[in-house]
Structure 1
Amino acid sequence: MASRDVVLGIFFLSQTVVGALGNSSLLLHFLVLDFTRCRVRHTDLILKHLIVANMLSLLCKGVPQSVAAFNLKFYLGDFECKLLFYLHRVGRGVSIVTTCFLSVFQAITISPIESWWAELKVKAPRYIGSSMYLSWVLNLLINIIILMYITGKRNNTTMTNLKDFGYCFSVCHNTATESLHATLLTFPDAVCVGLMLWANSSVVLILYRHKQRMQPIHKTSFPRSSPESRATKTILLLVSTFVFIYTLSCILQVCLSVVHNPNRFLVNMAAIVSGCFPVVSPFLLLLPAGWPGSSGR
């Protein structure tokens, strides 16, 4: 076994373990809050769905990818391969939709009373649960297209017609069909990223205007950095990290879809990047809990 394979296997394994521990710890934290009936925020329900989606995406990709990276040659059957890739895509899709919804909900929450979002501030919490379940249903339907491509090793199929992912294969179709399918799968992600950028830009603008109004008070009470300034930096860090990871992931996923015979470097890079957000999100996505205007139930 080459040393680079060992390093890659250790990296995949570490990424999976750290991400699983981080997300499971947060889920346990929320379950304890529910059990003790402590006062929680409306966004906690969104974060619970996000944690489950992250765990699903991370484990369905990270565990088999870790084994494959150690050159432990194993190939799953059709059903196992289709199930793993399908659940990974569903988890990934729900993760980005949930993060988008979290950003929009926070923008509505901290909006001024006189804004055109004022009515939504009262109605939005009622639709959190139904919106989360709807995102699961939609992603379960959208990603059915994955079942057309993924397969286990087939003795009656020539290797030239298959893309090797180390433990499963993807059946190659013509370039036009694969490009169309890649566009259909990527379009919802692009819409969510656009909505999140718009929502967080609104948050930054609201905080900036509030800072301007409260500037005389901040000069005496907060000589170094106002709460609005710190919150703005937090939002910018969250958005820039999310957009960078998912933009890079989408690009790599499109490349995997349209390239007829991708090399191992491209396959491994796509797997690494797809696991980055589920790993860092337990830390980044808890930062908005401290935004000004977060409300309890």
Structure 2
Amino acid sequence: MPSQVFVRGLLYLSLTVVGVPGNTVVIVAFLLLLYRENRLLTADAIILHLACVNLLVVGVRCLLETLASFHLANVFGDTGCKGVIFVYRTSRALSIWLTFLLSAYQCLSVAPPGSRWVPVRSFVSNYLSFVFLFLWTLNTCMSTAAILFSFSSKNESVLANDAINVEFCHVNFPSKLSKQANGAAQVGRDVVPMALMTLASLIILVFLYKHSQQVKGLRSGGGGSSSGSSGAEQRAAKAVVTLVTLYVVLYGVDNGLWVYTLTVRKTMSSSLTSDLRIFFSSLYAALSPLVIIVSNRKVNSRLRCLVQKNPVVEKAATLSTM
């Protein structure tokens, strides 16, 4: 096995080992919460949806790339390439937009009670299912080029100068214009939510700063401290800002490499650039559940319950055998 392919497999394996269990834990925790309380808050529903999409990113792309790199299994025929790249691009784009939706909703949540944005928050909560449907429809339609232009790297008869090398697959555009148009649409799809979620995070930070100044004033004046619900909102807001920062850094590198891929003349010589793009975009899907697990008390409480139940079950099993 060539050393480059081996290192490539190890990188994707590391993402798989971190991302699959991490996102699975978040999904199970919120499903248990849904089963127990028969409902989810809007922010919790968005996080659950985000974890499902991130699991698709890591599972469909990184896991399959790992298996193919170590020659354990290879689904990257023409049909497999079309399916994998389509699902990956759709779920990757949904991960971006759901992160924006989470940051925007959290921005609305920390707004003052009498703010004019309160009705917008209620609108998002009431029509969240339609928002999810719109995002799925939008990003599915924008990823259809993967079905039309993706082929296996073994199918050398369809390769062209404007093809993008993704190791086991090639995205073979019919012309340079179509390649650049598709690339520009993808960059625009990523940059718009990036700019909006950055703005939302800045607003959240301003609200948190003002709130901390108010709390200091109340404490110095003997007026008490903030409520528990306000503290929970602050913790959630800080977690969202962390997620957005992680996104902006990793997807900023990803989009920079994508622009380079679109502008460089020869992209068929090596798949290194495409591998780096996939790695950085998948890195967000792998690391974001760790941020959620550490910062979200609902996930922590579900995990503690599971951990505390295991010793009880083991003790009962030991007593029954005595």
Q: What TM-score do you get using the length of structure 2 for normalisation? A: 0.78
SS in 2 for 1:251: helix
Q: Distance in 2 between matches of 1:30 and 1:236?
A: 21
2:255 to 250, 258, 269: 250
Equivalent position of 2:300 in the other structure: none
Equivalent position of 1:271 in the other structure: 278
| Mapped contact 2:78–2:151 kept (Cα < 8 A) | yes
| Mapped contact 1:234–1:287 kept (Cα < 8 A) | no
Moved more, 77-86 or 156-165: 156-165
Equivalent position of 2:305 in the other structure: none
Whether 1:145 and 2:145 are equivalent positions in the alignment is yes
| Mapped contact 2:107–2:204 kept (Cα < 8 A) | yes
Percent of aligned pairs sharing the same letter: 24
Equivalent position of 2:103 in the other structure: 103
Equivalent position of 1:87 in the other structure: 87
| Mapped contact 1:204–1:235 kept (Cα < 8 A) | no
* Bigger Cα Rg: 2
| Mapped contact 2:15–2:62 kept (Cα < 8 A) | yes
Matches within 5 A, 1:29-68: 29-37=29-37, 40-68=40-68
Q: Distance in 2 between matches of 1:121 and 1:232?
A: 15
| Mapped contact 2:50–2:95 kept (Cα < 8 A) | yes
Q: Distance in 2 between matches of 1:110 and 1:26?
A: 24
What is the alpha-carbon root mean square deviation over aligned residues?
2.9
Matches within 5 A, 1:1-297: 1-37=1-37, 40-70=40-70, 76-152=76-152, 153-154=154-155, 156-157=157-158, 162-218=163-219, 234=239, 236-259=241-264, 260-262=266-268, 263-285=270-292, 289=296
| Mapped contact 1:90–1:139 kept (Cα < 8 A) | yes
Change (3 A) 1:157 1:178: closer
| Mapped contact 1:61–1:88 kept (Cα < 8 A) | yes
Unaligned runs of 5+ in 2: 226-230, 298-322
| Mapped contact 2:236–2:296 kept (Cα < 8 A) | no
Aligned length in residues: 287
Change (3 A) 1:74 1:212: closer
Q: Which amino acid aligns with 2:258?
A: Q
Q: Distance in 2 between matches of 1:171 and 1:149?
A: 5
Q: Distance in 2 between matches of 1:6 and 1:271?
A: 16
Q: What TM-score do you get using the length of structure 1 for normalisation? A: 0.84
Q: Which amino acid aligns with 1:81?
A: C
Q: Distance in 2 between matches of 1:285 and 1:20?
A: 14
| Mapped contact 1:235–1:288 kept (Cα < 8 A) | no
Q: Which amino acid aligns with 2:89?
A: R
Change (3 A) 1:73 1:143: same
Change (3 A) 1:235 1:23: closer
Q: Which amino acid aligns with 1:284?
A: V
Change (3 A) 1:261 1:99: same
Q: Which amino acid aligns with 1:237?
A: T
Moved more, 19-28 or 140-149: 140-149
SS in 1 for 2:115: coil
Q: Distance in 2 between matches of 1:210 and 1:74?
A: 54
What do residues 81-139 of structure 1 show as CA deviations (whole Å, max 9, x unaligned)?
11110000010111111110011111111100222213223333102221112111111
Change (3 A) 1:174 1:107: same
SS in 2 for 1:214: helix
Shift of 1:237: 3.2
What do residues 135-165 of structure 1 show as CA deviations (whole Å, max 9, x unaligned)?
1111111111222321123253357564432
Q: Which amino acid aligns with 1:34?
A: L
